[in-house]
Structure 1
């Protein structure tokens, strides 16, 4: 840039001319940066009756889901409720790990509990990270196993561009999705669980004497919007999945990577106003396969990559996993708060051209009926269930331990790639333990039915120069 300017601005140029040239150059730089940032956004609009994609922009590009992750946490919660495994009143106990999650959160102390319905409402309104983790631990035994259940369910629903690593969407470089996959999940939630879908229309709820308001500002602002979920971290930008039903037409729209909550909402409103009139009034039928599998044992038989590179390129701030309560939430969050109001106040103000839309003020949407909504994605074959190490009995083999869970998981991924046949029917997982006040993570493969089976697998790994030993669960 400096050499280019020196060729344009001569020594004899007047001060005014020099200033004008420099101003023009800076304009091009700023415009280029804005264009680069805008290229990282993604959006899709799907006709939920026919499955037709009405609008698409970078819909298959990898993105950090942020709190859109909680849509899958709720899917698995609704599934467990529908099967009678839990009810609205089942107590959800908060572990020390769940209680220590970064804000925003409900603030339940370790050992405390809330009803399943309270946890659900705190997620759809406040986007409570602690509630999501507590639900995940209840349904999966631990959050690591629950993340595998989430990924397995994603595959069964046809979400082939998504990998989940946690239940709440707090930053993890290995957790990613696409706008298309989030649209698939948004439609599946309503199609498969119409009896619970009305939760997404909640704009606020009472927790004790406190009224907690939601983040989804399009509810009550745009006619027909009846959910679903917002999401924000610094690395992901501002995300939103919206479902719209005007009585005759239905849409699901996704916007990811917005520069602010306001610009994201305006973009979503513009997409709804533009494409809802173009949606079909006919059509219907279940286009997303209902993944009917045990919510504990249906683990994803996929290789989770060690190094994932979703965009935006900004590396997310790591969030420490703690087994004890953390008093300084700001330290844990490290700037990646899910509180959109706080983020809006702290974020630098960028000038983004917003689509002018007509705002229609309406009453709060009614609770969804049992009417089934069609989906757009073709189903993929169900994921083969594998044995899970979350079962108390059985044998496992340990290949390593590390002070970082991400490193332990990377070792599991590497070992799986080195010996895919040996570990074809095993499932990798990590187990936390404390030593001299430091938390470490064991990298293990479970699902062996006997000591001999575990020893045999370990012997085969040693032939590949992979150290291991068998342990009983």
Structure 2
């Protein structure tokens, strides 16, 4: 008996373990070191994630819901809202903005990441986006915010937070619009009701969601982030050239194939963060790392790329895009669905990911996009009668219930006749009455009676 129970437990354990997600073969630090990077334990990101930019499928994740200061990756939200305004026809890339005295004053604050802005000069949206994304200018970020939003700074923060919620960034809250605490702006930027010392809060998953929607809806953003060096106001007294902080770009200090964006950020509270995307063939990936190293060692701006590159190379080398659910009928969690399209997903080592149906879409379970995948419809079922019995026309006649062909009156008479028979037996009536009942027993009623027993 003990051997039998032990065998059963072993089988259940094997099934349970087999149902668990496949764990990473190695930790991120070991992976980075094996990739040839001089990484150490104190450099490792506090949180990291890799997602497929086509479906939102998560390919790697550690502490993805850990709340962290995004620093200047905050500006990605302002960029997203700017491209939304462009797509809505409110502005264009050539729309001009005249710099104000306040803009010039902010540009002169040494402690902030800024660039040369002169009051009275005009700057195009294209130039402002370039300076926001590459040198991470705080002043140009605010100039964009003031252009696309008619309200005050506090209501623009509300717009940022509302947009985050609408995108599914449920663990995000913005206290400022640039990533630098508002108290650092020396009074030139002070959103009413917002704590001037408060840092923004995001998660790696939330920033991946933001980057996913930005790239999917506005892929032209990558035209601003795919070069290691950019120049604005060329040939004018205001000309400036900036080197990108994204050292994973081809030609950069740690350049690798396919990288073409997106945004980095750092601060004393955050350490060093990055949102990096790369495309190889038809596959685009998005990687987010938060909290690499610490502010005391400014080489953290290089260290973050040890882990970005390691994660990208690992995902590109171990996953392949394949059909995981061909068009037609699929059974998911016991429910049958039909779809007109093949569902593609990233597959690792030939093991297909778990599938689910969300919002009438067949998709990979755990996707950061609840509307990803392919549309499905419930598979057709045979027509049913209100009693729950199949109609003769809705199924094979051989499988039609015998009772479905019996008149309703018979069902009503059966209980009455049954009572009479029982009473007759109980009183011990004569042989004649018993014989009569025997005759009835050879008829239709008796067959019903015996079946109901």
TM-score (norm 1): 0.51
Counterpart residue number, 2:215: 190
Counterpart residue number, 1:377: 368
SS of alignment partner, residue 201 of structure 1: coil
1:183-262 aligned at under 5 Å gives the runs: 183-208=208-233, 209-220=239-250, 221-259=255-293, 260-262=300-302
Q: 1:258 to 1:50 in 2, by over 3 A?
A: same
1:257-336 aligned at under 5 Å gives the runs: 257-259=291-293, 260-282=300-322
1:52 counterpart = 2:57 = yes
Among candidates 138, 159, 175, match of residue 200 of structure 2: 175
Q: 1:163 to 1:112 in 2, by over 3 A?
A: farther
SS of alignment partner, residue 312 of structure 2: helix
1:185-241 Cα deviation digits (max 9, x unpaired): 111111111244322213322223432221111111110111010101111111111
SS of alignment partner, residue 268 of structure 1: helix
Q: 1:231 to 1:270 in 2, by over 3 A?
A: same
| Native 8 Å contact 2:180 2:199 kept in 1 | no
SS of alignment partner, residue 225 of structure 2: helix
Which structure dedicates a bigger proportion of its chain to helix?
2
Q: 1:177 to 1:283 in 2, by over 3 A?
A: farther
1:133 counterpart = 2:142 = yes
1:368-447 aligned at under 5 Å gives the runs: 376-379=367-370
Q: 1:107 to 1:210 in 2, by over 3 A?
A: closer
| Native 8 Å contact 2:246 2:263 kept in 1 | yes
Counterpart residue number, 1:165: 175
Offset at residue 169 of structure 1 (A):
0.9
Offset at residue 50 of structure 1 (A):
3.6
Offset at residue 38 of structure 1 (A):
6.1
SS of alignment partner, residue 89 of structure 2: coil
1:12-34 Cα deviation digits (max 9, x unpaired): xxxxxxxxxxxxxxxxxxxxxx9
SS of alignment partner, residue 276 of structure 2: strand
Offset at residue 64 of structure 1 (A):
0.6
Offset at residue 377 of structure 1 (A):
1.3
Offset at residue 280 of structure 1 (A):
3.6
CA distance in 2, matches of 1:263, 1:40: 10
| Native 8 Å contact 1:161 1:178 kept in 2 | yes
1:272-331 Cα deviation digits (max 9, x unpaired): 1111123342479xxxxxxxxxxxxxxxxxxxxxxxxxxxxxxxxxxxxxxxxxxxxxxx
TM-score (norm 2): 0.53
CA distance in 1, matches of 2:309, 2:241: 27
SS of alignment partner, residue 136 of structure 2: coil
Q: 1:174 to 1:196 in 2, by over 3 A?
A: closer
1:108 counterpart = 2:103 = no
Q: 1:241 to 1:105 in 2, by over 3 A?
A: same
Gaps in structure 1 of 5+ consecutive residues? 1-33, 285-373, 381-473
CA distance in 2, matches of 1:143, 1:110: 20
CA distance in 1, matches of 2:316, 2:135: 28
Offset at residue 111 of structure 1 (A):
4.2
Offset at residue 150 of structure 1 (A):
1.1
SS of alignment partner, residue 119 of structure 1: helix
Offset at residue 98 of structure 1 (A):
3.5
Among candidates 109, 113, 122, match of residue 131 of structure 2: 122
Q: 1:203 to 1:197 in 2, by over 3 A?
A: same
| Native 8 Å contact 1:48 1:376 kept in 2 | no
1:65 counterpart = 2:90 = no
CA distance in 2, matches of 1:133, 1:197: 21
| Native 8 Å contact 1:241 1:252 kept in 2 | yes
CA distance in 1, matches of 2:323, 2:220: 22
1:80 counterpart = 2:85 = yes
1:91 counterpart = 2:125 = no
Q: 1:106 to 1:52 in 2, by over 3 A?
A: same
C-alpha RMSD of the superposition: 2.5
1:120-148 Cα deviation digits (max 9, x unpaired): 01112111111001111122233222211
Q: Mark the structure with the bigger radius of gyration.
A: 2
SS of alignment partner, residue 369 of structure 2: coil
| Native 8 Å contact 1:50 1:280 kept in 2 | no
Number of aligned pairs? Answer: 257
CA distance in 2, matches of 1:109, 1:269: 38
| Native 8 Å contact 1:49 1:283 kept in 2 | no
Gaps in structure 2 of 5+ consecutive residues? 1-39, 182-196, 234-238, 294-299, 325-363, 372-453
Counterpart residue number, 1:460: none
Q: 1:280 to 1:98 in 2, by over 3 A?
A: farther
| Native 8 Å contact 2:96 2:124 kept in 1 | yes
